[in-house]
Amino acid sequence: MGASSSQIATALFVMLIGYGVLSIGLSVHLKMPVSIVWSTPGAAFLATSSGLGLSFELASGAFIVSSLLIVLTGAWPALGRLVRKIPPQISAAMLAGVIFPFVASTVTASVEYPLLVLPVVVVWLLVYRVLPLWASPIAIALGFILIGLSPEADGYAASGFWPDLVLVVPGFELGAIMAIGVPLYLVTMASQNLPGLAIMSSLGYPLPTRKVFVTTGLGSAVTGFFGGFGLNLAAITAALNADEGAAKDPSRRWIAASWGGVIYILFALFAAPFASFVLAVPTNLLLALAGIALINTFAGAIKTAVSEDETRLAGVVTFVIGAAGITVFGIGGAFWALVTGILVWLVRKRR
């Protein structure tokens, strides 16, 4: 969208700081594992909007409007009540569908890169027998070491990341707001915030929608003045911090999300080297490591999804659509999986 390299670095830096500060603040305040991230579907939508010919200043203005719409949504308490009416079996099925591609990537990467992935899987299994909570961190650390030492990372070149913060003077035009701001709001709500609320609810954490949306919306609006395009609830990351892999005691899992916020802030300080590493190695290897971390969450979600006869069919339909990885009207499969599963459940319930 015409941003300079300094503006790109500034936006990335400020957003990562925002994720860290809000993840720590909300988790400590609510004593729940609240993870704040950016909208991956929103980023994909923005990538497809580059041909609109809008300036980065107008785009930033649209980002701010999108953020303020989320603030307004937080003032609508009916939304939280609506989300809490969704059966946990359907929410769990949606979670299983969303994370299935990550779990499957562990299998495909094991075939494609056996010397890099299979040792990680073996270490995970062995450590899990004696130290379940440490199995994923140790295995993932080993995975990064093996990948970093392998020929797959030969193209990696480290660089510093100390951007001169560049303030963007946003512009506000109706055309840019309708073309970018409103769709970004809808995509973020449909693909991140609503699934995030549902997933957290299915894991036993009914989040206060007013506090979460107002806080993230205002924080997102602030980042808009630096070119940031959004701070919102996590979906997949939320599951990592909210299940028993983070802590056996559910009342202590907020600590994991808080430390996740600390890691985001560290990433902000070294964003360029991390980004260079990610771009230098095959994506499937990184997805495989995520799959190892998510396997227990996937197993628990599948168990919940088919646990009740009344919701089993709806749960299976939800899982299949979520796992298919579709995108319709710029909205990801998690939203359509949730909508379809609820419709199937309502039809079966009415019958």
Across residues 202-229, what is the average pLDDT?
90
**Above 60 in pLDDT, residue 159?**
no
User: Tokens for 158?
Assistant: 């480290």
**DSSP, residue by residue, 219-252:** HHHHHHTTT----EE-SHHHHHHHSTTT-SSGGG
Task: Indicate the pLDDT class of residue 26, thresholds 50, 70 and 90.
Answer: very high
Q: In the chain, which ranges are continuous DSSP H helix?
A: 5-30, 40-48, 56-74, 78-84, 88-112, 114-130, 132-149, 174-176, 182-188, 194-202, 209-224, 236-242, 254-269, 271-280, 283-305, 309-324, 333-350
Across residues 50-74, what is the average pLDDT?
87
- Residue 138's nearest CA partner among 267, 257, 261, 289 is 289
User: How many structural domains are present in the chain?
Assistant: 1
The whole-model pTM stands at 0.68
CA distance 285 to 283: 5
Residue 120 contacts by C-beta under 8 Å, 6 or more apart in sequence?
Answer: 139, 140, 142, 143, 146, 288, 289, 292
Q: What amino acid occupies position 314?
A: A
Q: Is residue 277 part of a domain?
A: yes
Contacts by 105-111, CB closer than 8 A, 24 or more apart: 105/284, 105/287, 105/288, 105/290, 105/291, 106/287, 106/288, 106/291, 106/292, 106/295, 108/284, 108/288, 109/284, 109/285, 109/287, 109/288, 110/288
Residue 59 contacts by C-beta under 8 Å, 6 or more apart in sequence?
Answer: 1, 46, 49, 176, 180
Q: Is residue 135 part of a domain?
A: no
Per-residue confidence (pLDDT) for residue 127, from 0 to 100: 93
Q: Is residue 297 part of a domain?
A: yes
Residue 132 contacts by C-beta under 8 Å, 6 or more apart in sequence?
Answer: 245
**Above 70 in pLDDT, residue 341?**
yes
Q: Is residue 114 part of a domain?
A: no
Q: Sign of torsion, CA 192 193 198 204?
A: positive
- Length reported for the chain: 351
**Above 60 in pLDDT, residue 160?**
no
173-182, 212-221, 322-331: which has the minimum mean pLDDT?
A: 322-331
User: Tokens for 151?
Assistant: 């020929």
Across residues 86-105, what is the average pLDDT?
83
**DSSP, residue by residue, 71-111:** HHHHT-THHHHHHHTS-HHHHHHHHHHHHHHHHHHHHHHHH
Domain range holding 176?
A: 5-107+160-283+292-350
**115 or 174, higher pLDDT:** 115
**DSSP, residue by residue, 136-159:** HHHHHHHHHHHHHHSGGGTT----
Q: Is residue 128 part of a domain?
A: no
**157 or 88, higher pLDDT:** 88
88-102, 153-167, 238-252: which has the minimum mean pLDDT?
A: 153-167
Q: Is residue 112 part of a domain?
A: no
Give the up-direction half-sphere exposure of residue 48: CA atoms within 13 A in the CB hemisphere: 11
**Above 70 in pLDDT, residue 275?**
no
34-38, 159-163, 187-191, 243-247: which has the minimum mean pLDDT?
A: 159-163
pLDDT tens-digit readout, 127-153: 999 988 788 889 989 998 998 888 887
User: Tokens for 85?
Assistant: 């009416």
User: Tokens for 145?
Assistant: 């070491």
**301 or 139, higher pLDDT:** 139
Q: Is residue 124 part of a domain?
A: no
Task: Indicate the pLDDT class of residue 42, thresholds 50, 70 and 90.
Answer: confident
Per-residue confidence (pLDDT) for residue 24, from 0 to 100: 95
Q: Cβ of 21: how many Cβ atoms within 10 Å? A: 16
**Above 60 in pLDDT, residue 161?**
no
Strand partners, 327: 332
Q: Is residue 145 part of a domain?
A: no
Q: Mean pLDDT across the chain, nearest whole number?
A: 84
Across residues 147-172, what is the average pLDDT?
77
Task: Indicate the pLDDT class of residue 281, thresholds 50, 70 and 90.
Answer: confident
